[in-house]
Structure 1
Amino acid sequence: MNWAFELLGLRPDADAASIKRAYAQLLRSTRPDEDPEGFQRLHAAYKTALAQVNTAAPAVVAPPPPLGSNAPSTPATPSTATRPEPQAVAQPRPVPTINIGALAGEVIRVATGDSRKLTAWLQARQEFWSIQVKQQTAQAVMQRLFQQPQAMSAESLNALLKFFDLDHVLSGINPYALQQLRRRQSLQWELTPEHHYELMQRIQLRRNGRPDQRALQHYLALLQQPLTWLAVVKTVLRGGALDRLGHFLQALCQGHLDDLPASFDRRSVQFWYKANHAGAMSGPRFAVNTLRVIVIGFVCALLASIVFAISFSAGSMPGKDALRLASTFSFAIVGGVVGVWLMIAGWIYLDDWQGLPESTASRRPWLRRLLIPALCTIGFGLHELGASDYIAGPMVFVSLFLALRRFRRRYAPQAPRRALRLRAMLPWIYLCGIGISALIHLQTDSDFPVVPAAFAVTLCTWLADMWRHRAHVHPRFARS
């Protein structure tokens, strides 16, 4: 085992204290992060030399002959007198087994605390002097964090990645998954009560220039408790409460609802997010707006009832007639307001449904593709059969508007510059369509074929849109 002493620069008879001093001096120039192989060899020599010193036995020397003896002294042969007895080969002590799972759990526990103490704690642990243990611990730590993110600040995560050499593109970690992990852990860190101030500063939740702790607690409680219609009614009836809740939810997770911790109720989060999300007519948005419309209708009916009550008190109308007219007029107002809203909601849903890309998965794609020509053909057929233009005209022009909007919305992503020109022309096209439809109602005896012309424009627009997306209809059309 002289190689260990030679590597340490010592004599074979050196003691344990000399070995430790030599190892400490050589450790300054042989760092594990700079020379892993050299460090492992130095560490092995250190352990081997200590083991040999602790287990070595003293040499056996033959005693000298007694004084005054006349017996001739027998010269000692090298094999018996001067050669020491063979010593047992020193075996290195087994390295204690390191529990990687427990070590990874301890690393995560320290990382969730103060970020300034994390780096010093990691560098002081002797287990990480072994490159193999360090790599295995890094894999265990990241695997646990991906499976169950912890409340950890961005500074702590950066220090953790830097120590384990995972802060570069060649570390083997998916950058998108790492970005999602950063968002989740930072969000959980901000949602802890001691860091609510940082959260309110980030999302700018203020009232009178100060962080609004009361509003934060209310929003968090509303998103974490199960969804109830009583809470929906209270939120909708409070002026601006729904919009403020939507702004808070959007600022909290930037639209990444999956990043929210498990303490948030998923059904409640999905409902409030869709209720405030402009664009498609989703179920929550329809329910919230329907509730608003009903409230508006009842307010209008109440005002009408007050007017009829004043007329009754003035004596200009009998009591039974005033009550009957008030009830009839109130129901008519509520029904009219709700009916108008249902027409608007139906148009928004139909327009969104027709504007979906062809690549969108759908159970009945041909129903979406053939609705416009079917509706236009039915309207044109009724017109040719002599039906009233009040029935045939709206069907044709509704299909025309749907075809134009469908062509614009599905054409813009493929050719942005040309789509901008077409988008600038579409308002004038809509105005012309409205003017023509008004002429149909006012001058039914006009000789100009308005309905046939609208029918032809609708079919041409629909065919142009389908030709641009012919590859989705059948693969063989993609070659043409």
Structure 2
Amino acid sequence: MNPFEHLGIEAGADEREIKRAYARRLRQARPDDDPAGFQALHEAYQACLGYAQHLRWQAMQDAEAGSDESTPVSHAHEHIASDEAPASQAQDQPDRARETRADDEPGHAPEHEHEHESDELAPPPNEFDFNAFMHELLQRAAYQPSAGLARWLRESEPLYSLDLKLALRAPVSQVLAQIEHPLPVEATAVIFEFFSLDVVGEHDAWLHEHAARARDRAESNQRFHYTLEALQSPRVKPVDRLLTRELARSRHWPRRVFIALVPLLPMRLIGALKALQGIDAQQAALQLNGESVSFWQRATDPLRLSRPRVAIASMRIVVYYLALVGLMNLLIADLAPSPVRDLSVAFAIWAGWACAQAASLRWWPTVLVERLDRRTVFSTVALIGAAVLAPIDPFVASGLGLVIALMAGSERSPTHGSLAQYATYAMCAALGTVLLLTTGSWRVTIPYALIGTGALHIIHSVAYAWYRGISVAQARTQAGWYWYLVGASGIAIAVGLYKMANG
């Protein structure tokens, strides 16, 4: 039985018919004699009344849609004031207004329903200005404590009219669901309680949808601001505060260049951005710096060779090359680098890698993705190429091995990321010590130590995946056997240093 059938009226009944039917039914379901029946009747009455008000509100919107481009709530006060021809002003009949309010409150039966069976709800004052009311309501809700907001609503004389409060439920919930900046959770709860929006049932789907959306937006907005504040607090790592400032503040070139040059920081920034967007995408678009967000999204998009991505890659190649040449010049006296050739080869390798990555993401067959890990395949091919290139151009081979080793060590989850990085340093030092003792040449030691470190990461992921019966992608997110690798690397370093010290 739907609410209209419960009251014994047609589904298209107006508020006058609903009021009369409710008064008639109250004679058969008094709260003292039949509390359950009275509660069901009252719920049906509220549902019918809300639906009728929604129909009137929707009719007003449809009528004004063609001639006025203001928001749907801009003329709600006209709708409220002109809905019914007032029999008399509420302020002229305080006794009747009190009886009307008592009739509509749960748990109260009208004492004189036989005398007022044909009465309507007391209409709101004609001078009520909905726009001004909503402006003040939003201002107080945004900047005033919730206790002050509740007191202001209780003391607002126009809202003494139950008819006005009921008519305001639909437009107020619609405004709260659509405003650009959601209100605080506490203020939203006060408004919901005052206008009885927290007890809207699913029988009034339109009002229930807007009320639920308003509540969800307030809660997600609160979570977004808490997360953003937490990422900028002294309790988090300085690098996380730096990345958050890059997302939230205006462009600062030294900070942006630093993030671009440090390996893995751009991807960490994108991870923080996705976390904030996952909480509240609308607030992320409003609160974060749009230029910074767009720049880093284009710079880290693996499907496009965008200008930011090419610029960052070129800058990294030059800086890393100069740093590597300086280090190797300290260790190898007769080194004769060829910067133009080395940089050209390095950039060509990167461009080929980027194109192959984009192509694989677009066209790699699904069956192969399930059986072969794309990153593992590319990393293995790149390491083989670096090993072949090492005798010819140790600089490019060393740089390629370093990039693959760092990338392989950064694929772990945040819980195990530090462990994988420590393992990278330990394995590189151990391989360098062993190769230096074996060959006695830094020219061979540096590139092959870096290439070997990347190879050990790949071998570890594949072996751990086979041992656990999981995919290689899943294995890369776990700690695996890195503690054993760190321990073995430490033993190898200690033995190598002992042999060096004893000739």
| TM-score of Structure 1 vs Structure 2, range by shorter chain | 0.3 to 0.5
Greater C-alpha Rg: 1
TM-score normalized by the length of structure 1: 0.44
- Higher normalized contact order (CA 8 Å, seq sep 6+, divided by chain length): 2
TM-score normalized by the length of structure 2: 0.43
